[in-house]
Structure 1
Amino acid sequence: MKLYLILFWIFAKIGTFTLGGGYAMLPLIERELVDKGGWLDRKEFLDSVAVAQAAPGIMAINVAILAGYKIKRFPGSVVASLGAALPSFIIILLIALFFRDFQSNPVVQRVFMGVRPAVVALIAVPVFTLAKTAGITLKTAWFPVLCALAVWLMKVSPVYIVLAAGIGGFFYMRRKRRTR
């Protein structure tokens, strides 16, 4: 029972105090589950993030489900996902109730303008951390950069990028096994 409370608290704490969505939460989730708890190793965490990104839905919830399942199976996935979702739900509900009254307030507008650069930084940190964990080097960095440019500039659907990368990885590993 204690582990369920810990799992809920970890994701509730992260969900409450993280701005910027799932990507901004990743370093905190990694620190709690990999570094502090030792429930996942770095490769398992990276695999969970990859699956969470490819799966439909909110990435932070998907990571919570996968991590919770790894730690305590189905009940763990339910507890972790509730922990991740409940604070955001309550915060959004409160904002929806009161924001109309405050959205034109100059102080509120300045606060939101100030938060934007911090959110970008919070999203950038996991990009570099995940790249390092995935073994991306300066020599191989061209591939994710090319994918990002294709999505951004050429408006290629990320679905096609993921499918192409998965198929390419399959054939690459198949060829690599044959040459051994």
Structure 2
Amino acid sequence: MRAYYFDNLEGDQRLPHDSGMDVSDEVLKSIGVLHWHIPVDAEGKYEQDISAIAKERNYKNHDVVAISKEGLGDEFETKIKSFYHEHMHEDEEIRYLLEGTGFFDVREHSSESWIRCHMGAGDLLVLPAGIYHRFTLDMGNRVRTMRLFKDEPKWIAHNRGDQTDANPFRLEYLKSIEVQ
């Protein structure tokens, strides 16, 4: 995974939007974002590694989601745009890419800048509950990803706004990164 500041220039959300300014692991950790690279292998060793992380983080369920033009048909562009709305979740978001490539953008609270995380097969990303983020494919237009859940699979996005800014999970997140 490569992380860098988003350039904020006009253009297709699936383009790199690379400012040329890389973001260090320390900056990611300071906003609660964790990541690992666990190669997807034919023997299935990656499944053991993912299971170990899931157990450590108390995750009990998972599913696999594929996003592509072929799979979504006429709804593809609408779905991609909906994933790109700035939002947060009340649970950690853990994604492991099995195939394809895409971008997770996370909001750096102190600067309000977007940090773009370009992920490929074998990349695992953990976003803390309450962090503002968004997702899009890159120009490859396809991804297959494993989503991990503490309980039953669910995905509820809370789009950014005054109400979400006051959400208890958002406030707890800000406290965890020591924002007053």
Which interval holds the TM-score relative to the shorter structure? under 0.3
Greater strand content: 2
Higher RCO (Cα < 8 Å, 6 or more apart): 2
Q: Which has the larger radius of gyration?
A: 1
